[in-house]
Structure 1
Amino acid sequence: MTTTPKRTSRAKQSNASKDELLHYYREMLMIRRFEEKAGQLYGMGLIGGFCHLYIGQEAVVVGLEATAKDGDQRITTYRDHGHMLACGMDPKGVMAELTGREGGYSRGKGGSMHMFSKEKEFYGGHGIVGANVPLGAGLAFANKYRGNDNVCFTYFGDGAANQGQVYETYNMAELWMLPVIFVIENNQYAMGTSTKRSTKSPSLFARGEAYGIPGEQVDGMDVLAVKAAGEKAVAHCRAGNGPYILEVMTYRYRGHSMSDPAKYRTREEVQKMRDERDPINGVRDMLLTGKHASEDDLKAIDKDIKAIINDAAQFAQDSPEPALEELYTDVYA
């Protein structure tokens, strides 16, 4: 891939250190390799049901997790494996849950869309479009009630941005000045419908203006741009100024789910994004042009990550299926 001066200048402007860039590179590559392996396991019939891959959108969660601190929560929809890994959940537990095994985060009962980690403050994974948004405001309400300065990152897509419950939540969040960051992951397609066909709004974040919620649109293929915007949003919320909206412009390379042939867009469109805007290649270029790492260094990182993901896949396959009695556990709190 040709190095673009635009990406190099971003590295200089951000004053990102070698360690920071290596961290972002490793985290995004971990998500990419995990999702590629999940796709393979799905094709082998080891993952059932729905499987929504995050390939192409890695900079969103990695950039925002770089602004989080202990106690901050995150809640999202069904394209959620990247969010799990970015907040520190174990790839073995995530993969085991995808394959419906006892070693998974929900002991094999939740699958991709219903996986949680109280330790990592990850609250799902929700299959109903937009339904996680009021729940995210509820988590933020708990922060305000407790008097801490934690924030809740509430992720949803451009499709969910048209749901009525999102706007009910906007109104309540601003009315009660809740510390919630509404993150619209605008990957340009709601299932198979382009945003150009589903809305005439030039931007989605600006809809918050009607409720008095500030926000901005961010380049979601640039992890440094996402981090910078995230820092601004986090500071706003921690200071007690209420909610903030980030519309992060990103792109998914695969179909909506593994069963989606994605015939609503051209191969050329997808390839152009891969060639010109890939978030991992962007950081890779910064590392190489800044002489922070060599090609061999980056190959070694990739080899290490592939070993971790292969171990996770093997752990998932070796873990037993849950016992029948597991059907009756955790039915009630």
Structure 2
Amino acid sequence: MIDPAHPNPIPLGSFYQLRKRMRISKIGGFQYRYRRIKEALERIVATTVKSEGAFYNKTKQEWVEDVFHLYDRVIFKGKRLPNGEIADSNYLFLSSWYLENINALYVKPIDFKYYRSLKSTIAQRLYELLGVKFYRFLWEELTCLRYRYSTLCQLLPITRQRYFSKAKEKLDPAHEELRKTDFLDKVAWEEIEGERDDWFIFYYPGPRALEEMRRYGVPEEAVLERGGRAALQAPEQGPEEIKGLVEYMVEVLGDEHSRPFYTKVARLCPSNVIYRLLSEVKDDWLQGRVRKSKGAHFTDKIKRYCQERGIDLGLKPSRADK
């Protein structure tokens, strides 16, 4: 953990030390390897991120609505530091919210030895992605994660295939490697009604994924069975958190008239579930899958969630429910 009293800069060590920690091969000569590391750091510093509720600030207990960088600055050995001294090493300045989350232990460590043991780069990326997402199981009664194939292609990233056989041909070797190493229990594909070139992929956590939760500080009672059901309840929210969540729902859904209903939802449902469903609504809207309005689309989703868990939102049953 970084000392909060002296948060920035972070000493990275020499390029040689970085190369060894990253286990970069010796192919290409040392000048080429070090230039690649330097350019990678510079690219990340130059990369701008626009977050619309996609990043969470653990310290402030709020979702980030901002434009920022992950790395604010990098100063290489021999260059001048802000205090006027000459840098005796390579130093990295993290963005404020990124550093706050690290100091608040709002992180998911990666088993680097296991990560490096994976032969497929797609398997490595899936391990990074799914390892974080499986933590949702602690607060929601889930047995698997579901991704659209098209969404997964953007996240990995890989070239999207038009045909099912080609899509499986690209992903299944990575799936099999993760299954054989016990990170995944199983993977299932499912057709999406009305869509020919997109599918749902369901990921079920294996023993290694569940063990990582225990190993990295998750209470053992939170992981009950191989399917990953959670014993913990979602934390209660205070009035300010509820108010902020309601405002966010009104803003995203553009439906001021439903504020009383959104207030009830915020009081009865876990905030992470609400944020997830809002994210799904935004994605569905961009993909042209919303038939009525964003508000109605969200209501359908939260209604199904609550019905499955016996949560009474006080809604009149629709014809489809009768």
Normalised-by-shorter TM-score class: under 0.3
Greater RCO (CA < 8 Å, at least 6 residues apart)? 1
Higher strand share: 2
> Over alpha carbons, which structure has the higher Rg?
2
TM-score (norm 1): 0.25
TM-score when scaled to structure 2? 0.26
